[in-house]
Structure 1
Amino acid sequence: MFRAAIAALADQALTRNLAAVDLLRAGAGTDLQAVLEEVGLRLAECYCDERSWALRRLLQAEVTNLPDLLDIVRERASDKVNEALADRFARLALAGHLSVSDPAVAAEQFGALLTAPLETRSQLGTRTLPEKELTEVTQNAVRTFLRAFSNG
């Protein structure tokens, strides 16, 4: 039952995160920085959603007793989101918008640039971040990402 609840939370997170990543498909021919900021903001909102914090708290509390929970979340959500983001980055690289030798690494690093500051600023989810702060974190992450991977 507990595993099923974790799987359901992971599935919900997947749906929200994939919708955010899909914005890269729609905005592929426009201002890349603006599109990445929109995607990043939506991903940050997903990450800071109370259900997402609850899922991470449950995982942290139970991982030593039920290590397969990490596999459930990774297989049902995290890996799929990273794969979708890597696919979008690969397509942007093929179109000449990014310089990415390994799209999976670029996706992982984009996520890290977003989530690390969110963890710190939200005090591990105990403080709600205002929209202005989410936007600031996102803009900083996108600027850093583009410094590393822009094709210009």
Structure 2
Amino acid sequence: MRQGQAEKRAAILRGARKVFGRDGYTRTSIESIAKEAVVSTRTIYNHFPGGKVQLFRAVVVEGSEPVVEARLDAIDRRLYKVTAAELEQELVEFVRAWVASSHRFADHFAVVRQMRVESAHLPQEFLTAWRQSGPQRASDALAERFERLAADGLLVTDDPARAARHLLLLTVAEINEQSFHGALPLPDGAEDAIIESGVRAFLQGYAPR
């Protein structure tokens, strides 16, 4: 793909992400995306012959990639070669980095919010493609790292995947619930308080006695 074509495709995806995140899938039209991206509808169909269906899938799948990379990086930086004395603080820093990726890629997560609202009306293929390209990859990597922490005696669990889910439920899920999945900013210090208390609760259940 020539540079000009690549830039045009990127502009279409940016515009589509903005409109899908604002209006949802059902109410979004190719015309509204063209207006946001400052291109013609013909240009959109040249790049995405499948129209809105193909474009939405690209927005969801390609938008997940930088989020996953940021979260995999957080796993590698914070949960690799951890000592027992460091574990609580490293878990806190890891969750902070995980949450920071939600803020950094706010346009992507606006689309995710709309997907949750419209999930009953979206093709199952959309939801599966998003889950496999994004959340599942990051969750699998976290479970794998928790398995290593358990093998090193830092966690006690025979189900690392469930332990990983519990950590995220005690921290990220509560932040999402209180902020309506990022739609409303929390007061200063609220995220840190949730993360720190959630990590402590997690370790009460999973740290060695």
2:169 to 112, 136, 140: 112
Residue 51 of structure 2 corresponds to residue 51 of structure 1: no
Deviations 1:88-129 (A, max 9, x none): 111111111110110011111111112221123213322123
Runs of 4+ off more than 3 Å: 24-27
Residue 208 of structure 2 corresponds to residue 151 of structure 1: yes
Pairs within 5 Å for 1:3-152: 3-29=57-83, 31-49=86-104, 50-63=106-119, 64-130=121-187, 132-152=189-209
Q: Are 2:68 and 2:135, in contact at CA under 8 Å, matched by a contact in 1?
A: yes
Q: Are 2:68 and 2:134, in contact at CA under 8 Å, matched by a contact in 1?
A: yes
**TM-score, normalised with respect to structure 1:** 0.89
CA distance 1:38–1:100, shift in 2 (3 Å): same
Q: Are 1:24 and 1:88, in contact at CA under 8 Å, matched by a contact in 2?
A: no
Count of matched residue pairs? 152
AA of the residue aligned to 2:74: A
Deviations 1:63-103 (A, max 9, x none): 32322221112111111111111111111111111101100
Q: Are 2:142 and 2:164, in contact at CA under 8 Å, matched by a contact in 1?
A: yes
Structure 2, unpaired ranges of 5+: 1-54
Question: Percentage identity across aligned positions?
Answer: 26
